[in-house]
A = this chain, B = another copy of it.
Protein backbone atom coordinates (compact mmCIF):
# COMPACT_ATOMS: atom_id res chain seq x y z
CA UNK A 1 0.00 0.00 0.00
CA UNK A 2 1.66 3.20 -1.18
CA UNK A 3 0.58 6.82 -1.22
CA UNK A 4 0.03 6.60 -4.95
CA UNK A 5 -2.66 3.97 -4.38
CA UNK A 6 -4.33 6.02 -1.67
CA UNK A 7 -4.30 9.10 -3.89
CA UNK A 8 -5.98 7.11 -6.63
CA UNK A 9 -8.60 5.68 -4.29
CA UNK A 10 -9.47 9.05 -2.81
CA UNK A 11 -9.65 10.70 -6.21
CA UNK A 12 -11.88 7.95 -7.59
CA UNK A 13 -14.25 8.03 -4.65
CA UNK A 14 -14.41 11.81 -4.55
CA UNK A 15 -14.95 12.11 -8.27
CA UNK A 16 -17.25 9.11 -8.53
CA UNK A 17 -15.49 8.23 -11.75
CA UNK A 18 -12.28 6.55 -12.82
CA UNK A 19 -12.00 8.78 -15.87
CA UNK A 20 -12.10 12.13 -14.13
CA UNK A 21 -9.93 10.87 -11.28
CA UNK A 22 -7.37 9.86 -13.90
CA UNK A 23 -7.29 13.26 -15.55
CA UNK A 24 -7.08 14.97 -12.15
CA UNK A 25 -4.04 12.92 -11.26
CA UNK A 26 -2.46 13.04 -14.69
CA UNK A 27 -2.89 9.37 -15.54
CA UNK A 28 -4.92 7.44 -18.07
CA UNK A 29 -8.11 5.66 -17.03
CA UNK A 30 -6.30 2.43 -17.57
CA UNK A 31 -3.62 3.29 -15.03
CA UNK A 32 -6.20 4.19 -12.40
CA UNK A 33 -8.13 1.03 -13.09
CA UNK A 34 -4.96 -0.99 -12.58
CA UNK A 35 -4.06 0.86 -9.41
CA UNK A 36 -7.47 0.33 -7.86
CA UNK A 37 -7.48 -3.31 -8.92
CA UNK A 38 -4.04 -3.84 -7.40
CA UNK A 39 -5.05 -2.14 -4.17
CA UNK A 40 -8.20 -4.22 -3.93
CA UNK A 41 -6.18 -7.36 -4.49
CA UNK A 42 -3.68 -6.32 -1.84
CA UNK A 43 -6.28 -5.73 0.84
CA UNK A 44 -8.28 -8.70 -0.36
CA UNK A 45 -11.61 -6.99 -0.73
CA UNK A 46 -13.53 -4.78 -3.06
CA UNK A 47 -13.14 -1.08 -2.25
CA UNK A 48 -15.36 0.56 -4.84
CA UNK A 49 -18.42 -0.65 -6.66
CA UNK A 50 -18.48 0.17 -10.39
CA UNK A 51 -21.34 1.72 -12.31
CA UNK A 52 -22.10 3.65 -10.38
CA UNK A 53 -18.66 4.18 -8.85
CA UNK A 54 -19.30 4.13 -5.12
CA UNK A 55 -17.12 3.15 -2.20
CA UNK A 56 -17.95 -0.06 -0.36
CA UNK A 57 -18.07 0.12 3.43
CA UNK A 58 -14.44 -0.94 3.62
CA UNK A 59 -13.53 1.52 0.89
CA UNK A 60 -15.23 4.38 2.65
CA UNK A 61 -13.36 3.62 5.85
CA UNK A 62 -10.08 3.44 3.99
CA UNK A 63 -10.81 6.75 2.30
CA UNK A 64 -11.28 8.39 5.70
CA UNK A 65 -7.84 7.25 6.76
CA UNK A 66 -6.30 7.98 3.39
CA UNK A 67 -7.60 11.54 3.31
CA UNK A 68 -5.98 12.28 6.65
CA UNK A 69 -2.77 10.58 5.62
CA UNK A 70 -2.56 12.54 2.39
CA UNK A 71 -3.34 15.79 4.16
CA UNK A 72 -0.54 15.22 6.62
CA UNK A 73 1.88 14.30 3.87
CA UNK A 74 1.01 17.55 2.11
CA UNK A 75 1.59 19.44 5.33
CA UNK A 76 4.94 17.75 5.83
CA UNK A 77 6.04 18.67 2.33
CA UNK A 78 4.85 22.25 2.76
CA UNK A 79 6.65 22.63 6.06
CA UNK A 80 9.87 21.51 4.45
CA UNK A 81 9.29 23.92 1.59
CA UNK A 82 8.48 26.76 3.98
CA UNK A 83 11.95 26.63 5.53
CA UNK A 84 13.33 28.72 2.71
CA UNK A 85 10.14 30.46 1.71
CA UNK A 86 9.87 34.02 0.50
CA UNK A 87 9.80 36.66 3.19
CA UNK A 88 8.28 39.25 0.91
CA UNK A 89 5.00 37.57 0.23
CA UNK A 90 1.95 36.65 2.28
CA UNK A 91 -0.83 34.56 0.79
CA UNK A 92 -4.07 34.34 2.75
CA UNK A 93 -7.22 32.27 2.34
CA UNK A 94 -10.13 33.80 4.20
CA UNK A 95 -13.61 32.36 4.66
CA UNK A 96 -16.34 34.86 3.76
CA UNK A 97 -17.58 35.15 7.34
CA UNK A 98 -14.17 35.03 9.03
CA UNK A 99 -13.92 38.48 10.60
CA UNK A 100 -13.17 40.48 7.45
CA UNK A 101 -12.92 43.74 9.40
CA UNK A 102 -10.29 42.26 11.66
CA UNK A 103 -8.29 41.02 8.71
CA UNK A 104 -8.31 44.34 6.92
CA UNK A 105 -7.26 46.17 10.08
CA UNK A 106 -4.42 43.72 10.64
CA UNK A 107 -3.27 44.06 7.06
CA UNK A 108 -3.27 47.84 7.31
CA UNK A 109 -0.98 47.73 10.32
CA UNK A 110 1.17 45.04 8.75
CA UNK A 111 1.67 47.01 5.55
CA UNK A 112 2.63 50.13 7.45
CA UNK A 113 5.55 48.27 8.96
CA UNK A 114 6.50 46.46 5.76
CA UNK A 115 5.57 48.48 2.72
CA UNK A 116 7.27 46.05 0.35
CA UNK A 117 5.21 43.02 1.47
CA UNK A 118 3.10 41.52 -1.32
CA UNK A 119 -0.23 40.38 0.12
CA UNK A 120 -2.76 38.16 -1.62
CA UNK A 121 -6.16 37.44 -0.12
CA UNK A 122 -8.44 34.79 -1.56
CA UNK A 123 -11.94 33.85 -0.52
CA UNK A 124 -12.34 30.15 0.18
CA UNK A 125 -14.55 28.01 2.33
CA UNK A 126 -13.11 26.31 5.37
CA UNK A 127 -12.28 22.93 3.88
CA UNK A 128 -10.67 24.43 0.78
CA UNK A 129 -8.66 26.75 3.01
CA UNK A 130 -7.33 23.76 4.91
CA UNK A 131 -6.38 22.02 1.69
CA UNK A 132 -4.61 25.07 0.35
CA UNK A 133 -2.69 25.53 3.56
CA UNK A 134 -1.66 21.89 3.49
CA UNK A 135 -0.50 21.95 -0.10
CA UNK A 136 1.38 25.17 0.53
CA UNK A 137 -0.51 27.45 -1.81
CA UNK A 138 -1.38 29.84 1.03
CA UNK A 139 0.55 30.79 4.16
CA UNK A 140 -2.36 31.69 6.42
CA UNK A 141 -6.00 30.61 6.56
CA UNK A 142 -8.79 32.44 8.37
CA UNK A 143 -11.48 29.87 8.98
CA UNK A 144 -14.73 29.99 10.86
CA UNK A 145 -17.46 27.73 12.05
CA UNK A 146 -19.88 26.87 14.80
CA UNK A 147 -18.65 25.38 18.05
CA UNK A 148 -19.25 25.43 21.77
CA UNK A 149 -17.79 28.49 23.51
CA UNK A 150 -13.98 28.33 23.91
CA UNK A 151 -13.76 25.11 21.92
CA UNK A 152 -11.55 24.83 18.84
CA UNK A 153 -13.14 24.19 15.48
CA UNK A 154 -11.25 20.95 14.88
CA UNK A 155 -11.32 21.14 11.12
CA UNK A 156 -8.41 18.68 11.13
CA UNK A 157 -6.63 16.55 13.68
CA UNK A 158 -5.50 18.64 16.61
CA UNK A 159 -1.91 19.71 16.22
CA UNK A 160 -1.62 19.37 12.47
CA UNK A 161 -1.70 23.13 12.13
CA UNK A 162 -0.88 25.92 14.48
CA UNK A 163 -4.19 27.52 15.38
CA UNK A 164 -5.03 30.84 17.06
CA UNK A 165 -8.52 31.74 18.25
CA UNK A 166 -9.47 35.22 17.15
CA UNK A 167 -13.14 35.99 17.65
CA UNK A 168 -16.16 34.29 19.13
CA UNK A 169 -19.52 35.91 18.68
CA UNK A 170 -23.19 34.98 19.09
CA UNK A 171 -25.18 33.32 16.34
CA UNK A 172 -28.37 34.55 14.80
CA UNK A 173 -31.05 32.68 12.91
CA UNK A 174 -31.78 34.49 9.68
CA UNK A 175 -35.44 34.26 8.63
CA UNK A 176 -37.64 35.88 6.02
CA UNK A 177 -38.83 39.21 7.43
CA UNK A 178 -42.43 38.06 7.31
CA UNK A 179 -41.76 34.74 9.03
CA UNK A 180 -44.01 34.13 12.06
CA UNK A 181 -40.96 33.73 14.34
CA UNK A 182 -39.14 36.79 13.01
CA UNK A 183 -40.33 39.00 15.82
CA UNK A 184 -39.03 36.84 18.64
CA UNK A 185 -36.38 38.13 21.02
CA UNK A 186 -34.53 34.80 20.75
CA UNK A 187 -34.99 31.32 19.35
CA UNK A 188 -34.18 27.72 20.22
CA UNK A 189 -33.15 25.35 17.49
CA UNK A 190 -35.76 22.93 18.83
CA UNK A 191 -38.47 25.37 17.82
CA UNK A 192 -37.17 25.21 14.27
CA UNK A 193 -36.42 21.52 14.06
CA UNK A 194 -38.88 20.85 11.26
CA UNK A 195 -38.26 24.05 9.38
CA UNK A 196 -36.19 24.00 6.19
CA UNK A 197 -32.55 25.11 6.23
CA UNK A 198 -30.49 26.27 3.33
CA UNK A 199 -27.47 24.07 3.02
CA UNK A 200 -24.49 26.20 2.03
CA UNK A 201 -21.07 24.54 2.29
CA UNK A 202 -19.44 27.84 1.39
CA UNK A 203 -20.70 29.15 4.74
CA UNK A 204 -19.64 26.76 7.44
CA UNK A 205 -22.09 28.08 10.06
CA UNK A 206 -25.02 26.90 7.98
CA UNK A 207 -26.63 23.80 9.34
CA UNK A 208 -26.89 20.42 7.72
CA UNK A 209 -30.11 19.64 5.96
CA UNK A 210 -32.32 17.63 8.29
CA UNK A 211 -34.55 15.62 5.98
CA UNK A 212 -34.97 15.20 2.25
CA UNK A 213 -35.71 18.02 -0.13
CA UNK A 214 -34.69 21.61 0.44
CA UNK A 215 -32.28 24.00 -1.19
CA UNK A 216 -28.49 23.80 -1.26
CA UNK A 217 -26.39 26.83 -2.11
CA UNK A 218 -22.95 25.88 -3.35
CA UNK A 219 -21.56 29.38 -3.77
CA UNK A 220 -20.09 31.72 -1.23
CA UNK A 221 -21.91 34.96 -1.93
CA UNK A 222 -23.87 36.18 1.06
CA UNK A 223 -26.20 38.34 -1.02
CA UNK A 224 -27.41 35.29 -2.89
CA UNK A 225 -27.79 33.34 0.31
CA UNK A 226 -29.88 36.07 1.92
CA UNK A 227 -31.99 36.37 -1.20
CA UNK A 228 -32.78 32.68 -0.94
CA UNK A 229 -33.76 33.14 2.69
CA UNK A 230 -35.93 36.13 1.85
CA UNK A 231 -37.68 34.08 -0.80
CA UNK A 232 -38.66 31.58 1.86
CA UNK A 233 -36.50 28.66 0.78
CA UNK A 234 -35.28 28.22 4.33
CA UNK A 235 -33.37 29.71 7.21
CA UNK A 236 -29.65 30.10 7.78
CA UNK A 237 -27.42 30.38 10.84
CA UNK A 238 -24.99 33.28 10.66
CA UNK A 239 -22.76 35.18 13.05
CA UNK A 240 -24.37 38.23 14.62
CA UNK A 241 -22.00 40.56 12.81
CA UNK A 242 -23.04 39.43 9.33
CA UNK A 243 -24.46 42.35 7.44
CA UNK A 244 -28.01 41.64 6.36
CA UNK A 245 -28.11 44.49 3.83
CA UNK A 246 -31.86 45.11 3.77
CA UNK A 247 -35.17 44.41 5.46
CA UNK A 248 -36.31 41.40 3.46
CA UNK A 249 -34.75 39.17 6.11
CA UNK A 250 -34.46 39.49 9.84
CA UNK A 251 -32.12 38.00 12.40
CA UNK A 252 -33.13 36.47 15.74
CA UNK A 253 -30.46 35.62 18.33
CA UNK A 254 -29.98 31.92 18.95
CA UNK A 255 -30.60 31.09 22.60
CA UNK A 256 -30.16 27.36 22.70
CA UNK A 257 -28.12 25.25 22.30
CA UNK A 258 -25.28 27.41 23.53
CA UNK A 259 -23.12 27.76 20.46
CA UNK A 260 -20.94 30.50 19.08
CA UNK A 261 -19.47 31.50 15.77
CA UNK A 262 -15.71 31.24 16.04
CA UNK A 263 -12.93 32.51 13.81
CA UNK A 264 -9.45 30.99 13.92
CA UNK A 265 -6.17 31.69 12.19
CA UNK A 266 -4.40 28.59 10.89
CA UNK A 267 -0.80 28.32 9.75
CA UNK A 268 1.76 25.61 9.29
CA UNK A 269 3.55 24.83 12.51
CA UNK A 270 6.76 26.02 10.92
CA UNK A 271 5.48 29.47 10.14
CA UNK A 272 6.82 31.73 7.44
CA UNK A 273 7.79 35.07 8.87
CA UNK A 274 5.12 37.34 7.34
CA UNK A 275 2.38 34.91 8.33
CA UNK A 276 3.59 34.89 11.92
CA UNK A 277 3.59 38.68 11.99
CA UNK A 278 0.07 38.76 10.58
CA UNK A 279 -1.16 36.31 13.20
CA UNK A 280 0.42 38.47 15.88
CA UNK A 281 -1.40 41.54 14.54
CA UNK A 282 -4.67 39.66 14.31
CA UNK A 283 -4.36 38.41 17.84
CA UNK A 284 -3.45 41.75 19.29
CA UNK A 285 -6.33 43.46 17.47
CA UNK A 286 -8.76 40.74 18.49
CA UNK A 287 -7.82 40.91 22.15
CA UNK A 288 -8.62 44.63 22.52
CA UNK A 289 -11.72 45.38 20.52
Chain A interface residues toward B at CB < 8 A: 1-4, 43-45, 58, 61-62, 65-66, 68-69, 72-73, 75-77, 79-81, 83, 157-159, 270
CB-based nearest B residue for A71: B69
The minimal Cβ–Cβ distance linking A195 to chain B, given in whole angstroms, is 32
Q: Are A80 and B58 in contact, CB atoms less than 8 angstroms apart?
A: yes
| Contact residues in B for A76 (Cβ distance below 8 Å) | 1, 61-62, 65-66, 69
Q: Are A2 and B4 in contact, CB atoms less than 8 angstroms apart?
A: yes
A-B contact pairs, 20 of them (CB 8 A): A1-B3, A1-B73, A1-B76, A1-B77, A2-B3, A3-B3, A43-B77, A44-B80, A45-B80, A61-B76, A61-B80, A61-B270, A62-B80, A65-B72, A65-B75, A68-B72, A69-B69, A157-B157, A157-B158, A157-B159
Candidate in A3, A44, A75, A158 with the most chain B CB atoms within 10 angstroms? A3
The 3 closest A-B pairs by CB, nearest first: A65-B76, A157-B157, A2-B2
Give Cα A68 to B80, complex, Å: 16
The residue that A158 contacts in the complex, of B43, B44, B62, B158, with Cβ under 8 A, is B158
Q: Are A73 and B65 in contact, CB atoms less than 8 angstroms apart?
A: yes
| Contact residues in B for A81 (Cβ distance below 8 Å) | 43
The minimal Cβ–Cβ distance linking A228 to chain B, given in whole angstroms, is 34
| Contact residues in B for A270 (Cβ distance below 8 Å) | 61
CB-based nearest B residue for A57: B83
Give Cα A79 to B59, complex, Å: 11
| Contact residues in B for A45 (Cβ distance below 8 Å) | 80, 83
Give Cα A80 to B65, complex, Å: 11
Candidate in A58, A66, A68, A80 with the most chain B CB atoms within 10 angstroms? A80
Give Cα A83 to B69, complex, Å: 21
Q: Are B3 and A43 in contact, CB atoms less than 8 angstroms apart?
A: no
The minimal Cβ–Cβ distance linking A170 to chain B, given in whole angstroms, is 28
| Contact residues in B for A79 (Cβ distance below 8 Å) | 61, 65
CB-based nearest B residue for A156: B157
| Contact residues in B for A80 (Cβ distance below 8 Å) | 43-45, 58, 61-62
The minimal Cβ–Cβ distance linking A110 to chain B, given in whole angstroms, is 27
